A and B are shown apart, each in its own frame.
Chain A
Amino acid sequence: MKKCRILGLFGNFDDAFAAIGDFKNKKVDGITVDDVTFLSPIEHPDIDDVLGPRPSVIPKVTLCGAAFGITFGFLFLASAQSNFLIQPQGGKPVVPLPSNIVLTYEMMILFSVLFTVVAFLITTRLFRKRKSLYSEKVGIDQVAIEFEVDEKYIDPIKGVFKDNHAVEVREEVQS
C-alpha cells in the first residue's frame, strides 16, 4: 500500500479542533489522535487538551546539561589550578572553593543553555527536509491538520475535513 500525505487547512481553531475531535472519536477506523500533526501560526493555549499530553525530553536534557556544567566546570578549574605551578600560591589553597563556586555556576548555566538548544534542535526535527505539503498560509492566519497514512485512509480523512469546513485539502502520494 502506498503512503500518502494529506493536509487540511482550516480558517479557525474551532473547526480544526472539531475535526481532531472526530478523529479522537474514531470516525475514521485506524486513525487516532496520535497520528495528527497540527500546524498553526501560534501555539494555541488549548492545544494540549485537544491533542492530549505529548511529553518533551527537553527538561531532562537541560538537567543533564546542568549536571555536566557543574561537573566539567569544577573539574576543569580544579585541574587547571592543580597544574598551575609557575605562580607560588603564597599559602592560599591550590583549588580555591569560593571563586570556583562562582565560575562553576556560570559553567552550569552555559552548559544548561547549550544542551537545551541542542535538544530543541533535535527534538523539533528542524534540520529535516521540509515536507512538500507545507502551506505558507499556516504562517499567516490558517491552521492545518496533516496525516501521513496509507492510501486507503485518504478519502475518509478528506470527508472529516470537509465536514468540519476545511477551506482547502491537499494530498500527495509518496513515490
Chain B
Amino acid sequence: MQNNEVYKDINEDLKWAQINKDVLKSMENPRKGYWISVAVCLFLISFAVVGEVYQYNVGMGAANLNWPHMWDLYIATFIFWIGMSHAGTLLSAILHIMNADWRKPIYRFAEAMTTFSLMTAGLFPMIHLGRLWNMYWVLPYLTDRGIWPNFRSPLVWDAFAISTYLTSSALFLFIGMIPDLAICRDNARGWRKKLYTALSLGWRGDDRQWRNFRRTYLIMACFLIPLAVSVHSIVSSDFAMSIMPGWAVTSFPPYFVAGALYSGCAAIITLFILLRYYFRWEEYMTIAILEKTAKLTFAIAMVWTYLNLIEFASVWYGHSAADKEVLLAKFFGPYAPFFWGMIFCGSVVPFALAFEKLRRHLPTMMVVSILLNLGMWLERWMIVTPTLSLSYHPIAHDVMWPSWVQWFIVAGSFGWFGLLFLVFVKVFPSVSMYECKEMVLHRRELANKEISPVMANNPGGGAPATGVSSKSPGVEGS
C-alpha cells in the first residue's frame, strides 16, 4: 500500500472539525524548535542593533560606504527582501486565479512572508541613508519648503510602488484571514478572544458575506499580480535606467521579476519544512504539495538561468567595452568566487529538484532551498557591487569589501523577518481553515463521484444528519 501523504495533496477523509482543532491547537502548542528559532532571531536582531548604533554614532564610513561604493550590501539586501515578497503573490494570487487548489494549505504563510519581507526591505533604504530621521523626505507631500521629490527618479517610484505593494498585500492577507479569525474568535479566551473579536469584524459566514468576500479576494488577487510585476520592474529601473556599465540592461525588469519569484519560491520551501516541523502540519503541508512547489521552483529557476545567459550574451555581443569589462571582472576578477557561487547555487543546485526522490526528502529540500536563496542573495550583491568597482571613471576603480557593520545589519534583517514571521504564525492561523475545508470537500466530491453520488456534499465528513432538532427560543446561539 502506498503512503497516503506522498501521493495526495490532502487527505479527503479529514473531518472539518478536525481541521479547526488542528489549526487552533497549532497556535498554542509548537515544538521546542519554534522557541529556539525565536531565540536565534532575537540574537540576530541584537547584531543589527549593535551595528546600527555603531554606524549611527560613527557615520556611514563605519560601513565602508564611500564613493564610489555608495550602494552595497544594504541595497543588495533590500532587493533580496523585495524579491522574497513575491512569494505570496505567486502562491496566493497567481495560483488562486489559475484555480490551483493545492496552494490552499500553504498560501497563508506565503502571504505573511510577502508582508514581512516588504517590512524588512523598507528598513534598508532608511539604514542606507544614514540620516534616518530624514526618510520621510522621499514621500510626496507639500511642505513649507516647497520642495517635492524628483518624480523622474526611479527611487521615488520605489517609494510609491513599495508603499502601494505593502498596503495591498497587508490588506490581502487580512481580508483572506477574516473567516478564520471568526473561528478563532469563537474558540479563544482572554486577550486572544478580544484580539480576534476585533479583527474578525463580526464575520458570521452568511451568503452575502461569502459572495462579497470571494469577489473582493479575486479582485485583489487580480490587482496584486501586475502590482508585484511593477514593483520589481521599478526596483530594476533603479539600475537599468542608469548609464552605469552592467546596469543599463534592457532585460533587467523580467530578470528581476523572475529572480524575485525564484527566491520567493525557495523561501516558501524553507518555511514550509520549518512550519511542518514546528506545528506538526504533516496532514496539511504534505509531501505532494512540497513536490509541486519544488517543480514550480525548478521551472522558475530555468527561466532565471535563461535570462542570466541572455544578459551575458547581450553584453558579450554588444559593443560596450566598459560593459564587457564588468562582465569579465565578474567572471575572473576579485568577486569571481561569489559570482560562480551564485551560478552554482542559482543554476546548478536547482537540478536537484528534477529528481523525485530528492524532492520528497525533507532534509535535502531544506539544504537545497537555503542554497537557492543564498544564490539569489549573491545575485543581488553581484548586481550592485562589481559595477560600482568598475564604473566609467578609472579613478573610481576600486574593490571594496563590506565591513562588519554591514554584515551585522544584514544578518539582523534575517532575524527581524524571522521574528515577525514566527510571531505571526503563533498568533494567527498559518493554515487557512476554510480553504482546507473547501479543498477537502472538492477532493471528496471527486472521490465520491467514482464511488457513489449519494455521499457527496457531506461537509462534516460524518454520517448524514438524523433530523434531531431542539428548540432554544430566545437563547443566545453561541
* Chain A contacts to B: CB under 8 angstroms: 7-8, 10-15, 17, 36-45, 47-48, 51, 54, 56, 58-59, 62, 76-77, 80-81, 83-87, 92, 96, 99-100, 102-103, 105-107, 109-110, 112-114, 116-117, 119-121, 123-136, 138-143, 146, 161-162, 165-173
Contacts and interface: CB of A to CB of B under 8 A. Distances in A.
Given A109-B223, A141-B16, A169-B471, A42 B478 contact: no
Interface stretch (B214-222, B275-283, B335-343, B395-403): B214-222
Interface stretch (B53-61, B140-148, B318-326): B140-148
Contact of A54 (B20, B207, B474, B475): B207
Given A13-B457, A47-B210, A168 B470 contact: yes
A172 B473 contact: yes
Nearest to B237: A102
A149 to B, nearest CB: 15
Contacts of B470: 168-169
B190 interface: no
A43 B469 contact: no
Given A11-B464, A44-B457, 19 more contacts: A7-B477, A39-B207, A42-B437, A42-B459, A45-B442, A59-B215, A83-B146, A114-B171, A116-B216, A117-B175, A120-B215, A124-B212, A124-B213, A130-B202, A135-B478, A142-B459, A162-B467, A171-B474, A173-B474
Given A37-B206, A38-B207, A161-B469, A58 B16 contact: no
A108 to B, nearest CB: 9
Nearest to B15: A141
Nearest to B184: A139
Nearest to B153: A99
A65 B214 CA distance: 18
Nearest to A136: B186
7 contacts: A38-B207, A41-B437, A81-B151, A87-B150, A113-B168, A136-B187, A136-B478
B394 interface: no
A80 B205 contact: no
B160 A103 contact: yes
Contacts of A39: 204-207
Given A15-B464, A110-B164, A139-B186, A47 B207 contact: yes
Interface in B430-478: 434, 437-438, 441-442, 456-462, 464-478
A113 B457 contact: no
B208 interface: yes
A91 to B, nearest CB: 13
Interface residues of B, number: 76
Which label, helix, strand, loop or mixed, suits the secondary structure of the A interface? mixed
A136 B187 CA distance: 9
Interface of B: 15-17, 20, 140, 142, 146-148, 150-152, 156-157, 160-161, 164, 167-168, 171, 175, 178, 182-183, 186-187, 201-216, 219-220, 223, 226-227, 230, 234, 434, 437-438, 441-442, 456-462, 464-478
B215 A167 contact: no
A99 B168 CA distance: 22
Given A13-B457, A100-B151, A146 B464 contact: no
Contacts of A128: 202
A58 B215 contact: yes
B168 A102 contact: no
Contacts of A47: 207, 210-211
A1 B195 CA distance: 40
B140 A80 contact: yes
A173 B472 CA distance: 11
A64 to B, nearest CB: 13
Contacts of A134: 204, 477-478
B466 A103 contact: no
Given A100-B151, A139-B205, A166 B467 contact: yes
Given A58-B212, A99-B152, A120-B175, A165 B464 contact: yes
Contact of B211 (A54, A103, A171): A54
A124 B469 contact: no
Contact of A84 (B146, B175, B477): B146
Nearest to A54: B211
B237 to A, nearest CB: 8
A112 to B, nearest CB: 6
Contacts of A165: 464-467
A138 to B, nearest CB: 5
Contact of B160 (A85, A107, A133, A171): A107
A154 to B, nearest CB: 9
A7 B220 CA distance: 33
Nearest to A165: B467
A113 B458 contact: no
Nearest to A38: B207
B464 A12 contact: yes
Contacts of B223: 109, 112-113, 116
The 6 closest A-B pairs by CB, nearest first: A11-B465, A141-B460, A141-B16, A43-B210, A165-B467, A120-B216
Contact of A139 (B15, B20, B152, B220): B20
Contacts of A103: 151, 156-157, 160
A119 B208 CA distance: 13
A81 B150 CA distance: 9
Contacts of A166: 465, 467, 469
A38 B469 contact: no
